[in-house]
């Protein structure tokens, strides 16, 4: 059996390519890419000629056996995404879990990440932060996302698209959130732009023409949340003794803590 390499690639500026990444791509037998067209452009830039296959959200489950077979044949494989570090809001999580089950050696080649670049540019607390992937488009997940932001005691980082950024900022305004926000656009690229302010001021600063390309948002921790020190176990036991439904208990405790009702319910449903 051989090795799978998780390879972080530049998020914009090709000068961020590391010597170790180049050496890895030169020595592996096969490269799996989220987008083979982008993968081929990167390999062409590096003057590397290797077989390249697709590995994206639509085929990530079906490709596992194919990759395992190649590894069992002694081939080394590199996994790359469109940009940045694979698995971080990109395909790869399912594959890595399956490879671990099969005792495959896995090596991660560190490199650029828009999450950390944006965090360090934000000026917000960096000792404790949460990355939430893409802001949900609708439904209960979207509601819970903004609830977390409203009650978060740590810096939050997330992705959104140019088409949805104004809708997302309006959501902050509608919920009365005054968190400071940093919009990072086209990080490390020629037209990298940073916008700072609360949601209302950002909506007045930016135009549709400003918001093209990849967008990472960094949101400061909330200054309005009241953090109540509560012993959840004792509270749950007490309310259960009064025959209060667990769903209702979760809602009550959610209003008193920084956790959602669903998070609390998952913890107490088997009491």
What's the total number of domains in the chain? Answer: 3
Same domain, residue pair 85 and 61: yes
**Buried b / exposed e across 121-147, counting CB within 10 Å, b at 16+?**
bbebeeeebebbeebeeeeeeeeebbb
Provide the mean pLDDT of the chain: 90
And the tokens for 134?
């893409």
pLDDT tens digits along 35-82? 999 999 999 999 999 999 999 999 989 999 999 999 999 999 999 999
Residue 67 lies in a domain: yes
**The pLDDT of residue 229:** 54
Within-domain flag for 227: no
Structure pTM?
0.77
Structural domain includes residue 226: no
Same domain? For 77 and 43 the reply is: yes
**Is residue 128 located within the same domain as residue 185?**
yes
The gap between the terminal CA atoms of the chain, to the nearest Å, is 45
Domain match, 108 and 131 both: no
What is the mean predicted confidence (pLDDT) over 201-227? 82
Q: Is 9 in the same domain as 96?
A: yes
Which residue in this structure is represented by tokens 């309005």?
224
Residue with tokens 């896995």: 106
Residue 24 is part of a domain; what is its CATH number? 3.40.1010.10
Structural domain range at position 260: 232-268
The answer, yes or no, to whether residue 225 has pLDDT greater than 90, is no
Q: Has residue 143 been placed in a domain?
A: yes
Kindly give the pairing relationship between strand 77-80 and strand 155-160.
Answer: unpaired
Same domain, 259 and 190: no
Q: Does residue 22 fall inside a structural domain?
A: yes
Could you tell me if residue 164 is inside a domain? yes
């Amino acid at each position: 059996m051989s090795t799978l390499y998780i390879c972080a690639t530049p998020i914009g500026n090709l000068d961020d390519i590391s010597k170790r990444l180049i050496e890895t791509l030169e020595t592996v037998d096969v490269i799996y890419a989220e987008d083979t067209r982008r993968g081929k452009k990167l390999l062409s830039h590096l003057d590397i000629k290797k077989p390249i296959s697709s590995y994206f959200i639509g085929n990530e489950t079906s490709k596992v056996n194919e990759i395992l077979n190649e590894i069992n044949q002694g081939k080394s494989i590199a996994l790359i995404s469109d940009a940045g570090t694979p698995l971080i809001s990109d395909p790869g999580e399912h594959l890595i879990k399956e490879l671990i089950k099969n005792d495959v050696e896995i090596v991660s080649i560190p490199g650029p990440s828009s999450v950390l670049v944006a965090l360090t540019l934000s000026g917000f607390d960096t000792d404790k932060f949460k990355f939430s992937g893409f802001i949900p488009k609708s439904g209960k997940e979207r509601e819970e996302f903004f609830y977390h932001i409203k009650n978060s005691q740590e810096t939050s980082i997330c992705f959104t698209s140019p088409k949805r950024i104004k809708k997302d900022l309006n959501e902050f305004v509608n919920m009365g959130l005054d968190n400071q926000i940093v919009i990072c656009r086209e990080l490390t690229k020629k037209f990298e732009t940073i916008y700072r302010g609360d949601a209302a001021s950002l909506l007045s600063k930016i135009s549709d023409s400003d918001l093209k390309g990849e967008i990472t948002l960094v949101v400061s921790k909330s200054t309005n949340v009241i953090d109540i020190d509560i012993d959840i176990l004792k509270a749950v036991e007490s309310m259960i003794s009064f025959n209060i439904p667990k769903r209702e208990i979760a809602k009550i405790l959610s209003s008193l803590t920084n956790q959602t009702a669903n998070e609390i319910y998952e913890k107490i449903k088997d009491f």
